[in-house]
Amino acid sequence: MARRAVVTAGTGGIGLETALGLAKAGYAVTVVGRNAERGAWAVERINAGGGEPARFLQADLASLDEVRTLSERIEGELAVLVNNVGAMFEDRTELDGVEGSLVVNHLSPYLLTELLLPALQSGAPSRVVNVTTGAVALAKKVFDEVEPPGGYYGFHWYGRAKLANLAYTLDLATRLAGSGVAVFAADPGGAATDMTDGTMRNPKIVSPGLRLLWPLVRRKFERSTSGPASEAARSSIIAATDESLRTGLLIGAHGQPVTPIKAATDPRVIAAVRRLTERHAPVPDGISN
């Protein structure tokens, strides 16, 4: 029987390219997205490659309730989980009472991973790949509360939520060492996608200091997000498939392991992220190990 892979936000952008790469590598791929038409189209595209039949599961990963329901629909053994979903909000947004960047970029992939650990353990040797970003470098490294002090700037809050997820990812690799479930972070670099074509054109997503330099910042954003999604998917595909890699690595945009920023391995950051995460995305006893 074919080994199964799940790619979240896998019906477009970098996620679809990741799904195509995993299908080519022989996996039976399930893509997750909100829009059923987009899902059907993605499945058609993957199946056109002639590999194992693909499947679409509909879920809005901005809702932790929908994440819980999704996890129940993914039954049996799982070989690969790529948590590719991510979002940047121009304006401060709340989702079920919690700030939206933290929900979509960290709490949601965290919860899905924890709920699918039994499936990943049954499918071992298996892998979790969490998609990160260079924006982690411009994040406030404070995780005592959901919202950091200071004003709301979408790009920085996105980076901070992704930093929480990166710290969790590297911590999870340690927690699962020897279990047969390997854990990776993957940085796609940048690509022209729905996400970058939208929010990254608005100067209000960066802090006032960077806003003063907006023409320069915008040019840097444009340059770094001008490539194709197929290229940006490479790091996730390598993290999911390269058997020479050891658990706990961050695969950079060029497809090679790179050193994560210091904050992601700082024990104080890891502990604060863990407390915050467990408070806002509780996992039922007996699932997590």
Ligand X SMILES: NC(=O)c1ccc[n+]([C@@H]2O[C@H](COP(=O)([O-])OP(=O)(O)OC[C@H]3O[C@@H](n4cnc5c(N)ncnc54)[C@H](OP(=O)(O)O)[C@@H]3O)[C@@H](O)[C@H]2O)c1
What is the closest distance, in whole angstroms, from the C-beta atom of residue 214 to ligand X in the complex? 18
Which residues fall within 8 angstroms of residue 273, CB to CB, at 6 or more apart? 143, 164, 167, 168, 171
* Contact call for residue 159 and ligand X (CB under 6 A): no
Closer Cβ to ligand X, 54 or 125, answer by number: 54
Candidate list 23, 28, 62, 139; residue touching ligand X; CB under 6 A: 62
> 90-127 b/e with 16+ CB inside 10 Å = b?
beebebeebbbbbbbbbbbbbbbbbbbbbbbbebeebb
Candidate list 43, 64, 80, 85; residue touching ligand X; CB under 6 A: 85
* Contact call for residue 133 and ligand X (CB under 6 A): yes
CA-CA distance, 166 to 163, in Å (whole number)? 5
* Contact call for residue 6 and ligand X (CB under 6 A): no
What is the closest distance, in whole angstroms, from the C-beta atom of residue 42 to ligand X in the complex? 7
For 131, the token pair is 């998609």
What is the closest distance, in whole angstroms, from the C-beta atom of residue 289 to ligand X in the complex? 26
Size of the site for ligand X (CB under 6 A): 30
- Is the bond into 282 cis (omega within 30 degrees of 0)? no
Which residues fall within 8 angstroms of residue 230, CB to CB, at 6 or more apart? 17, 20
For 129, the token pair is 């790949």
Coil, helix or strand for 75?
A: coil
What is the closest distance, in whole angstroms, from the C-beta atom of residue 162 to ligand X in the complex? 7
Candidate list 30, 84, 101, 169; residue touching ligand X; CB under 6 A: 84
- Site map (CB under 6 A) of ligand X, residues 230-269, x = contact: ----------------------------------------
CA-CA distance, 257 to 79, in Å (whole number)? 21
Q: Show contacts with ligand X in window 20-49 (CB under 6 A).
A: 32-35, 38
H-helix segments, 242-288: 267-280
Closest CA to 157 of 208, 75, 92, 201: 92
* Contact call for residue 186 and ligand X (CB under 6 A): no
Catalytic site residue 110? Answer: no
* Contact call for residue 61 and ligand X (CB under 6 A): yes
* Contact call for residue 113 and ligand X (CB under 6 A): no
For helices 64-73 and 108-122, give the axis angle rounded to 10 degrees: 10
Q: Show contacts with ligand X in window 195-224 (CB under 6 A).
A: 195-196
Closer Cβ to ligand X, 196 or 277, answer by number: 196
Which residues form the catalytic set?
158
Residues binding ligand X (CB under 6 A): 9, 11-15, 32-35, 38, 60-62, 84-87, 104, 131, 133, 188, 190-191, 193-196, 225, 229
